[in-house]
Amino acid sequence: MEPSVESPVDAPHPGAAARAMDDLRHIRSAMEGATGLTSASGGWRATVGGFALGTVAYRWWGIAVAPGSARWVVFWGFAAALSLATGVFMMRRKSSGRPDGRASRPGRKLVFGVGAPRAAGLLASVGAWRAGAAELLPGIGLSAYGAGVLAGGAFSPRPVPALGVCCMALGGWRSSSPSRPPTPSSVPASGRSTSPAGS
Amino acid sequence: MGSPGTRVKAATSRARAAADAALGLDPVIHERLRLGIVGALATRDALRFGELKDLLGCTDGNLSVHARRLEEAGYVAVAKSFEGRVPRTDFRLTAAGRAALARYVTEMERLVKAVRRG
């Protein structure tokens, strides 16, 4: 609010109205911020939890899948879709009953902030897959996820953007040193790898 | 005696307070940070000190001072506890605080409408 000299008058003047509008916007912004904080936090936790679940499942089941194979891509696609669906479901459930919960500015910021980098990551993944560079997919996916967390959580409590930065860094590192697809001799006929990662 | 700038600032502040009083605005709630606190608490059962601070982008000291003013007016209830050894402060909007916010918003809307009508 810009300081200005105002005299006490009976009738409101345009300056007072401008201040009133500004105050109303400020109230709305504070309310939206608090609503978004509530609605988003569950979504974040669920999304991150979903990815953690996917990682755990990969360690349990993914060892039977050769990295770079079509089955491997389907598995990761399923894990991503599951975690995203869980996040959206948790967010909807938490914001239900709150006026303007999903259409609020923080809600839109979250959807577009997270959604756009994930969509770009999906396109890059498809491109990498078609170019025969499937070993790049984990790095691309992790980087896109990190970018989404960073963009969607830019104004959230510090651990959220920090998580995004860490994921992006990890994704970058993973992309720059992708694991080589296994040779037929490293994947036994049963499909079970003998690598330590699967133990 | 202060500098001319300080005197102008004080005069501006007095004039604004008088104008606000003439408009019937609640001086407790009619302050940007306190308005933000009350507005944020209106959508939640309770908010922690850290959550409010992050949300409103203010310092610890600023938030403490303004929250105490709201507490003294009976608009905000403060609950202090410990989570292990870490102190925790929760803020909650009281019924009086909710009513004050509703009155304030109504007054602001009335003001805007009055000016728009010309």
Mean pLDDT of A137-154: 81
Residue A73 neighbours by CB distance under 10 Å: 17
Residue B63 is predicted with a pLDDT of 94
Residue B92 is predicted with a pLDDT of 93
Residue A183 is predicted with a pLDDT of 44
Residue A93 is predicted with a pLDDT of 66
Residue B94 is predicted with a pLDDT of 94
Closest by CA to B110, choosing from A11, A97, A148, A53, is A11
The pair of three-digit structure tokens given for residue B86, joined into one six-digit string: 């870490």
**Taking a C-beta distance cutoff of 8 angstroms, is the pair B114, A13 a contact?**
no
Read off the DSSP letter of residue A189. Answer: T
Beta bridge partners of B81: B88
Nearest beta carbon to residue B43 from set A17, A31, A156: A31
* Contact criterion met (CB < 8 Å) for B105 and A17: no
- Is B108's Cβ below 8 Å from some Cβ in A? yes
What's the predicted TM-score (pTM) here? 0.49
Residue ranges of A 76-115 with Cβ closer than 8 A to chain B = 98
Q: Give A-chain residues touching B44 at CB under 8 angstroms.
A: 34-35, 38
Q: Give B-chain residues touching A24 at CB under 8 angstroms.
A: 105, 108-109, 112
Residue A25 is predicted with a pLDDT of 86
Residue B98 is predicted with a pLDDT of 93
- Return the CA Rg of chain A: 23
pLDDT per residue as tens digits for the range A72-106: 677 767 766 766 676 667 666 665 555 444 455 65
Residue ranges of B 9-28 with Cβ closer than 8 A to chain A = 9, 11-12, 15-16, 18-19, 21-23
ipTM of the complex: 0.73
In percent, how much of chain A has pLDDT > 90?
0
**Residue bearing the bigger pLDDT, B3 or A166:** A166
Mean pLDDT of B101-112: 88
Closest Cα in chain A, distance from residue B67 (Å): 15
**Taking a C-beta distance cutoff of 8 angstroms, is the pair A107, A174 a contact?**
no
Looking at every residue in chain A, the average pLDDT score rounds to 67
* CB within 8 Å of A113: residues ≥ 6 apart: A148, A151, A152, A153, A154
* CB within 8 Å of A80: residues ≥ 6 apart: A51, A54, A141
**Taking a C-beta distance cutoff of 8 angstroms, is the pair A107, A41 a contact?**
no
pLDDT per residue as tens digits for the range B24-54: 778 898 899 999 999 999 988 889 998 889 8
3-state SS of A5-42 is CCCCCCCCCHHHHHHHHHHHHHHHHHHHHHHHHHHHHH
- DSSP labels, A46-80: HHHHHHHHHHHHHHHHGGGS-TTSHHHHHHHHHHH
Q: Give B-chain residues touching A16 at CB under 8 angstroms.
A: 19, 23, 111, 115
Residue A182 is predicted with a pLDDT of 47
pLDDT per residue as tens digits for the range B71-93: 999 999 999 998 888 889 999 99
Q: Report the residue count for chain B.
A: 118
